[in-house]
Structure formats: structure tokens, C-alpha cells
Structure 1
Amino acid sequence: MFALRRPLVKAALLAAIGGVTGVGVLHYANLLDYNEMGAVRIGRAGVTVAQIAVDYKWSLFWMKDPPSSEAYRKELSKIHLRSAEKLKELCCINKGAFVKVGQHLGSLDYLVPTEYVDTMKSLYNDAPQTPFEDILKVLRKDLGRDPRTVFRKIDPEPLGAASLAQVHKAELNDGTTVAVKVQHSKVERQSRSDITAVKVLLVAVSKIFPTFQFVWLAEETEKILPMELDFLNEGRNCERLGKSLSRFPFVKVPKIYWDLSTKRVLTMEYCEGGRIDDLQYYRANHISVSDVFTKISKVFNEMIFVNGYVHCDPHPGNMLVSKSPLGTPILTILDHGVHMQISEPTRLSYSKLWLSMLDADVEGMKKFASELGVGDMFDIFACMLTARSWTGVRSGIQNSVLSDGEMFDIKRKISMLLPEISDILNKVPRDVLLILKTNDLLRGISYKLKVQNDPHVFTTASLACTRVVYREKINHADSPLAALKLVGNMLWTLFKIKIFEFYLTIFPNRNPLIL
């Protein structure tokens, strides 16, 4: 028996020696990057999640105070912060899809604990960079020629680095300045296994912590990642959005240079301007913060409620503000990898829900939130959408100012409502998840610009929702006369909102609704 096994043992030993020798040679020749190995990346993620799970279980096991106590909340906040830092470190080491999931988590303000949001938000600005030599390799391979024959010069220092790519300023041979977006060389190869790993880990976490049901986060990333990795798709999105927003003269999207674009390289017009949240830029260029955010509100309300075609990643790095020759603000929208078409039923129910919240119509909120699958948790859902307390929603969100006390109360209650919030996120249509992300990113910009109480935000939403709701009624009118009457009612309602909006423009600090 032993004699039969000896050849197998010798073969196994030779294979092992050969494998170790091969790994050693590749390592010393700098041809092997351990971080690329799926087992290493998954193992690292598993260790991090295990550490976080043990931290929660062990730290809270010894807590003698009840969960409603201040001492318990303080201890939980410390654990949230430690865990968020561990997750951020994991994202930065594993890069790629892990950074994308971390960024998504950081955009869910008022949906996950503040400690996670504040920590993961930094991934939008601190995403790992690819060395310039590797960028040149991607350009050479995808464009089929030496980059130096295409570009007169390319700035080695990127304008910005994101989870999947980084952008470099360059100059064409004819002197035209362009921005060249180049995909990180290893992202596509690693993305499929990374998403599978994230999904498995989130399922495991949901078993350990039944209140943490965020598997949808990996599922949504898995769904949109292939679209984001195709830069030709991003170019088409950019052009489509530009056409759908053509009625707004203050909106700009970059021109795409199709002959210098591939699935991993996107060459586009270089757009000047300051970051949308840079208050110093506003002051230096004498730009009205309120005017800019009113324009942002108009554009995104048009996308969500009217067109149903939405740019779903409006973080501050993806929007620029500048001045036209006439001195009026210009809003430039960048990074068009994540666009979403909202289904017609979702768009109509969502519009009616917002109109109900603007009218403080509780029964309407309940009805239209139910159409979106929320059921009896409509009150929590309304608070999630508006980032207001239920008291504030019931009294009319446009009739009251969001105070520091109300903000503190909302943030304090988030950790207490995590099971309900998690349940809602698992029930709503998938396109609503990206709307929630979009809302939270825009809300974050409003806080940075200190315009979260600007009533123009609500008038622009009222205008968009009114148009949507009345158009549906007109399309289903019983007779031409009934349709004509509805058109008249719509125009009168829009006129009243416009008059109020004009009043706010003339007297920006005198909102009669809150006097």
C-alpha cells in the first residue's frame, strides 16, 4: 500500500516545491502582487468583519446599562467609529469594488450611523491612486498607440482619483485641453470576485446581527458595477443627460471625444470651475450660494420627478460651479457612470408621496408609501426621505426650519431604528435605493453650503411634482373638457407656486410660511 502511495507523495512534494519556488521567483521579479490574489483579498475582508463582529459582541456584552441610556449610546458610538475605521482601512487596501461599496455606505446619511457615514465619506476624496506608469500602459494598450503621439502632454498628477479610475489633465496635439479618465488596470479583473466576497460577508454579518440587513448594498453594487466599468456607456449617458436637460441653459456636461475613448479610457472636454461645496470659491468669484443650490434643486427634481432619468452620484467632486460671461452661475455635471431610468409606476408613486409630504397629508403619505412597498412604516420612510423628524413632517416640511435640536434628535434615533430602516431598504423598489443615495448626497451638499433651510428647495420640488401628478390626471381624463379643466387647474397651481418663488427671490430672508 505504501509502495503505491510513494509516487503520489513524491509528486505532491515536487509540486509543492515547484509552487513555492515559482511564487518566490515571481515575487522577487516583482511579477506577483499578493493583493491581487482572491484568497488574500477575501481572507483580509473576512478577518476584518470577524474583528468588527467580536468588538460589537464583546464590548456590548459587558454593558450593564440599558440600550436607551446615554452611557450605552456613547459606548455604541465608540464601537461604530472603531468599526468604521477598520472598514475604511480594508477598502483602501483592497481597493476597487471595496472602495465603491464603502463610498455607497458613506452616502447613506440618516440611513446608517453617523460614524460610518462620516468615516466612509472620505473615500470620495482619498481613493487610492494608480501609478502613472500603469496609466500609460492602459492608454497604450487601449488606444493602440503611444500616448505621446496622441497627447502633446499629460499631467502625471491626477486631477482626482476614484474607486474605479482616475482623471488626468492632458493636451491634444492641436492644443485642446482635455480630461482623460483612465480605469485602474486591475479593477475589472478583480471586481467579480470582490463583489461575491462582499455579498458573502454581508450575508454572514446579517446572520450574526439580524438587525443589520444590508445585503442589498452588495446586490446594487453588483448590478451597477459593469455599467460603471464601461466608459463608452458613461459617454452615452453624458450625451443623453445633456439632451434631457437642454431646457436649462445653466447646465453643462462635457463633450466626449469618441475617437479617443474606449471601454477603459474616456477622453472628454476639460471643464473649469470650483467644487460645488467650495464656499471660498463662491466668495472669491461673487457667486450666490442660494442661487446655485436652487439651480441644483431644479435640475435634480427635473431628473427624478419629470424625466425619470437620474444621475445617481452627485457627490461634491462630480459637480463644478463657474460663471458665465454674463456673470450667472453655470453648473457642470461630471462622472456619468451611474445613471438610472426610474420605472413609471415608481416615478408616479414617488412624486405623489412627495406632494403629500409637502402638503402634510398623512393619509396620502401612507397610501403612496404603501405603493412603494413600505406599508405601515410610512412615517419612518417619510423621515428618511426628508431628513426631518416625524413632528416636522406632519407639520409641513416647508413650514418649519430644521433646527440643530431636530438634527441632533434625528441622528440620535437612527441607531434605535436600524432594524426598521434596514427592513424598508429591503422592501422598496431597487430604483428607490439609488434615489435615496442621490437625495443624501444632495442633502450633504446643502449642509456644506449652509442652505438646508432654503425654501426654494421645496418650491422647485412642488413645481416638478405638480406637473407630474396633473399630467397623469390629464392623460386619464374622461373627456376633452375634463382634460382642459385639469390643464387650467395645473397652470393655476404652477402660477401660485411661481409667484411664491418670485417672492422668495425678492425677499430671500422673509419666508411667510415660517413667520
Structure 2
Amino acid sequence: MVTRIRRYAQIVDILWKYGFGIALEKAFPGKTRFRLPGTEEKQPDQSTVYERVRLALEDLGPTFVKFGQIMSTRTEIFPPELIEQLKKLQDHAKPLPFSEVLAVIHQSCPNLEDWFAEIDEAPVASASIGQVHRAVLKDGTVVALKVQRPGIPEIIETDLAILQSMAERIESVFPESRMYNPTGLVQDFATQIRKELDFTRDGRNSERMARNFRDVPGIHFPKIYWEYSSSRLLVMEFIKGVRIDNVEAITAQGCDPHDIAVRGFNAYLKMIFEDGFYHGDPHPGNLLISEMGDLVFLDFGIVGVLRPEKKQLFVNLLFALTTDDVDMILKTLEGFGIFVAEESREALRDDLYIMLHDFGGGDEIAQFNFGLMINELTEVMRRYSLKVPMSLMLLLKTLVMVFDVAVRLDPQFSFGGEITPYLRKLADSNVLSAGYMKRASNSLLEAVDAAFDLPRNVNLMLKRLSTGTIRLEVVDTDLKKLQMALDRASDKIMIGLVVAALVVGSSLVLQASPVAMPKEVIWIAVLGYTAAVLCGFYAIYHVIFLKLRLER
């Protein structure tokens, strides 16, 4: 609890420093007194509010940097200016002293001296969750050690709890923010970052992709050494290479940048459309060109999964974008679970048509600009407040990043020119048809079963109808009100019967000979008769009054 309060004070302090004090005070009135002393609110300068958001996230630490990076994919929600700033967030962190890193390695590898001949103290790379060190096994194999920073799970859990409470508070204080679903965004982010904390998941993802590409030359995934690995330490093959965006170094190695661009693009197409399991973070730091000229994939914390029917939907979406088919775009978006209000449908169709006219290739597929097309598509979805699944946004973001890398390697790279033949090949092959044939066969079997059962069901219905045993179930959306109305009606009928009984009984008593009965009985009959008459008059008045009120 003390740690959470201290962390809350740090967050308040940083947000106040970057000029968000007024919004903070409105969302959490009175609680900004926990702000650390000596920090004044930053006065507005030439920095835009979105630049200050990015700077604040960087100061807030690894959890918030990761949150900003994930949110940079939600281009259908946030304005382009904010997305541009969030894309600038870099997951770099100051390297930890080697003594702290060594303590984590010892926890996973108790027999450290028996397994490793040497471990370089200087890290090869350093990020918010972990850092990478080069090491050599006893047999001389060079490996890379991905080591989790000590205490990072506790820090992230504390930040996630604060983020969740902030999101809930923002939704209650600022109702207009609900269209962005802050609590849902935080929950999605929490799920993702908790997965990244488990390094064994990273290793399993790498091995699965390696199996998928075992027969594809020129694509390489690092080997995982499971006997030394754990959830906090991943030991993998060390691969020397240059970043994929370093065109000069790639050329110096004797590789053709255009060939690398096409090979990488086709690798992602295979992952998405054939395997349904793809590398979801293709920034240049995670893609290397080895000394042998292989394209090497690194860091599998973020992966995307596509079910067979979703693969077909995405094929349809790309076909629609490259062939300027508005109806297919709309149908495909709805297939992904995106609800389009009926009153917005025609306006949305118009905007999609304008988008295709401005950025589509028409008959010249080489002129198709995928990056601008997707940016405009997400802007249209944001304008109409369409709720887009995270899986679709990750898929679009991944393809845009792959396209950007390909253009850096080869400025003449054509997205439409490369993907159209591939999509046609898919349509002509059995890659997507197997899943659809299975679904179609299941649907056919269900239809045949229903057809065989139809005569028996019709005969049973006719028998029940003829014997009067058929049961009709009526579902009313306001059944409670109907029940209350029936209760009131039955009460009135019961009162009417009681009144009628009093009138009849009292009348019979009064008509009898007064000598034959005591005076008390006669007076009781008179009182009952009088009460019944008064109740009758009131009932008549009440019915007439209600009828007149309803007619008004």
C-alpha cells in the first residue's frame, strides 16, 4: 500500500510538471496534495499538448511507455497528432549494473559456472522490461541472454492498478471519454504486458514460427536453449547482423535491398494468410539481416492470431481496397464485428468511396498507396466512432509497418503490385479453402439433418394442434408490467364480487320479517348494504375517471 501511495505521488508530480494539473485536480479533487513538494506546474510553451503527453509518458516509466506504444496502434480512436507523438516513444532504458543482472541469472541458473564460460558485462541492448547480454556456453556456443529486470513485475502491477483506477475515474468525471472506453483499453493493455513478462511465451512463439518456416529459405528464427531458460531468463542463439533499415550496410554485405523487401513482405503474408500466426512488432530493431544474408526475426512478445474465417475476411478486405469495392469493405468490416448504425450507413459509404477515389489505384494497381489508404480508413472509422477489435488494429498496424520498412529498402516498392498476385494465388489454391470446406460440410450436414427431421416435426405439430395440446410461448419485453396489470384487474374483480355478495345478502336480510331476527342483525345488514352501495358508486366513478384520463 505504501509503495502504491508513493508511486501515485510520483505520477501526480510528473503530470503536474507537464501542465496537466487542472485536469488532474478535476478528476481527483483534493488528492493532488500528495504531490511531491517543490514542483510547480509547467507553463505552456511551444510544445503542443500531445508532445507533452509523450514526454510525460517517457518520464512515467516502462509501464506507461509500453501503454503509449500499444495505444499508438489505436488510430481509429485517437487523433492523428497524438498517434504521431505516441509512435515516437522509444522503449529504451538505462542499463542496470551487471551485479543486479547477475543475481537474476543466478536465480534461473544455479550452476552458472558449470554452464557458461563467459558473460559479457556490457549489454547488447537494454529495454524497459529486460536487457540482453552476450554469453558463451561451455561448449563454445555463443548465445544471447535476455534477462528480466529485477522487481519489474511488481512495478508493472502497481502501475496497472493505478492506471485502472485512473481510467475508471476519468470515465465517471468526463462522460465524453466513454466513447474511447478507457477501462477497456487498460484491460487490453494489462493482458498484453503480462504476457510479455513471461519469457517462456516469447520462446514458444519463436519456435512455433521457426516450425512454420522450416522449409522457407532465407528466413531465420533464433534457437532457444530451454535447459537454461525460465520465465525471467531466455537463452537463445546469438546472431550477428545489421538492422533491416540500414540500407548501406545491407548493400555492403552483398545483399539486394529489393530482394530483402520482397522476401520480408512475403514472409509476413505467409504468417498472416497461411499460418494465421504472425510477428506483431516488426519495427527495424526486431528485424536483422545476418552475415549469411538471412532475414532474422527477434522479440516475440507481441504476436497476432487469426482464425480461418478471419483470414478470409482480411483477404476480402484487401481485395476490396485494391479493387475499389465499397460494398465489400463495408461487409468485411461488419464481419469483423464492427457495428454500423443504419442512419450512418449511407454517409459512411460516401466517405469510403471518396477514400478509394483519393488513395486507391483504380486500374493502375501500382499507384495503390497502402499506407495512406489505411491511415484514411482508420480516420473514417474514428470519425464515425466505430468500435474496432484490437486484433484487426494490430493486423493493420503490422502490415503498415512492414510496408514502411519495405519502402525504406526500396522506394519503388509497390504494395498493390506485390499483394495482388499473392491474393489471387491464395484464391486459386487450397490454402484458405480447407477451413471453408470444413465449415461448409458441417453446415451442409446440419441442413440435411434438418431436412430429414422436417416431415416428422410437421407431423408432430399437426397432431398437437388437432388435440389441443400445442403450447405457444410468448415472450413479452415488458412482461412485468403485464403481470401487474393482470393483478390489478383480478383485484378489482374480487372486490366487485365481494360488493355484489354484500348487496345480495343485505337485500335478502332486509326483505325478511323484522320479527324473526334481532335488531343488531338488521343494522349490520343495513351497514353492509350501505357500504356495498358506496363501493359500487366509487367503482363506477373510478372507471369513468380513468377512461377519460386515458382518452386525453
Same fold (TM over 0.5): yes
1:80 Cα offset (Å) = 1.7
Counterpart in the other structure of 1:78: 48
In structure 1, distance between residues paired with 2:218 and 2:379: 42
> Could you tell which deviates more after superposition, 76-85 or 108-117?
108-117
Corresponding position: 1:441 with 2:436: no
Residues 277, 477 of structure 1: alpha-carbon distance in 2 compared, 3 angstrom cutoff: same
Q: 1:361 aligns with which of 322, 325, 328?
A: 325
CA offsets, 1:324-348, max 9 Å, x none? 3xxxx41111112223332333233
Counterpart position of 1:294: 262
Aligned to 1:186: 151
Determine if the alignment matches structure 1 residue 144 to structure 2 residue 144: no
- In the alignment, residue 260 of structure 1 is paired with which amino acid? Y
Q: Which runs of 5+ in 1 are unaligned?
A: 1-33, 59-74, 479-515
Q: Write out aligned runs for 1:331-350 (5 A).
A: 331-350=295-314
Are 2:269 and 1:309 aligned?
no
Whole-angstrom distance in 2 between the partners of 1:105 and 1:382: 27
Contact 2:76 2:381 (8 Å CA) reproduced? no
Report the Cα offset of residue 298 of structure 1: 1.2
Answer whether contact 1:212 1:418 (CA < 8 A) is retained: no
- Structure 1 residue 360 displacement after superposition: 2.0
SS in 1 for 2:245: coil
Contact in 1 for aligned 2:92/2:128 (Cα 8 Å): no
Matches within 5 A, 1:88-487: 88-90=58-60, 94-95=61-62, 97-106=63-72, 112-113=78-79, 115-124=81-90, 126-145=92-111, 147-205=112-170, 208=174, 210=177, 212-322=180-290, 324=292, 329-376=293-340, 389-392=355-358, 395-396=361-362, 399=365, 401=367, 419-420=382-383, 423-424=385-386, 427-449=387-409, 450=411, 453-454=414-415, 455-464=417-426, 467=429, 468-471=431-434, 474-475=437-438
In structure 2, the CA distance between the partners of 1:418 and 1:293, relative to structure 1 (3 Å rule), is same
Are 2:222 and 2:237, in contact at CA under 8 Å, matched by a contact in 1? yes
Q: Which amino acid aligns with 1:279?
A: V
Do the aligned partners of residues 465 and 372 (structure 1) sit closer, same or farther apart at CA in structure 2, a change above 3 Å counting? farther
In structure 1, distance between residues paired with 2:48 and 2:381: 17
TM-score, structure 2 as length reference: 0.64
For these two proteins, the number of residue pairs brought into alignment is 411
Contact 1:261-1:267 within 8 A present in 2 as well: yes
* Counterparts in 2 of 1:419 and 1:349: CA distance versus 1, 3 Å: closer
Deviation string 1:286-344 (CA, Å, 9 cap, x unpaired) is 322221121122111111122111221222111111353xxxx4111111222333233
Which residue number corresponds to residue 30 of structure 1?
A: none
Q: C-alpha separation between the residues in 2 aligned to 1:418 and 1:148?
A: 57
Describe how 1:482-501 pairs up with structure 2 within 5 A: none
Q: How far does residue 254 in structure 1 lie from its aligned partner after superposition? A: 0.7
> Which stretch of structure 1 is more off in the superposition, 213-222 or 375-384?
375-384
Normalised to the residue count of structure 1, the TM-score between the two structures is 0.68
Query: Is the CA contact (8 Å cut-off) linking 2:75 and 2:382 kept in structure 1?
Result: no
Residues 294 and 122 of structure 1: is their aligned pair in 2 closer, same or farther, counting only changes over 3 Å? same
Residues 199, 215 of structure 1: 8 Å contact kept: yes
Q: Which has the larger radius of gyration?
A: 2
What CA deviation, in whole Å up to 9, does each residue of 1:215-237 have, x standing for no partner? Answer: 44422221122322122222221
Structure 1 CA distance for aligned equivalents of residues 115 and 408 of structure 2: 40
In structure 2, relative to structure 1, the CA distance for the partners of 1:240 and 1:416 (3 Å cut) is closer
Could you tell me which amino acid in structure 1 is paired with residue 192 of structure 2?
I
Cα deviation, 1:165-185, whole Å, max 9, x if unaligned, reads: 111111112221111100011
Residue 238 of structure 1 contacts residue 336 of structure 1 at CA under 8 Å; is this kept in 2?
Answer: yes
User: Are the aligned partners of 1:389 and 1:410 in contact in 2 as well (CA < 8 Å)?
Assistant: no
Aligned to 2:498: none
Partner of 1:486: none
Shift in Å, 1:257: 0.9
Matches of 1:85 and 1:124, distance apart in 2: 11
The alignment-based identity, stated in percent, is 25
Bigger drift between 148-157 and 458-467 goes to: 458-467
Report if the CA contact (8 A) 2:134-2:238 is conserved: yes
TM-align CA RMSD:
4.0
Q: Name the SS for the 2:150 alignment partner.
A: coil
Which has the higher relative contact order, 1 or 2, with Cα contacts under 8 A spaced 6 or more apart? 1
The question of whether the paired residues in 2 share the 8 Å contact of 1:274 and 1:321 is answered with yes
Question: What's the counterpart of residue 31 of structure 1?
Answer: none
* Cα displacement (A) at 1:108: 5.4
CA distance in structure 2 between the aligned counterparts of 1:335 and 1:251, rounded to whole angstroms: 15
Q: Secondary structure at the match of 2:48?
A: helix
- CA shift in 2, pair 1:472/1:238, >3 Å: closer
| Partner Cα separation in structure 1 for residue 332 and residue 148 of structure 2 | 41
Could you tell me how far apart the structure 1 residues matched to 2:70 and 2:166 are? 16
Distance 1:190 1:251 in 2: 36
CA distance 1:460–1:38, shift in 2 (3 Å): farther
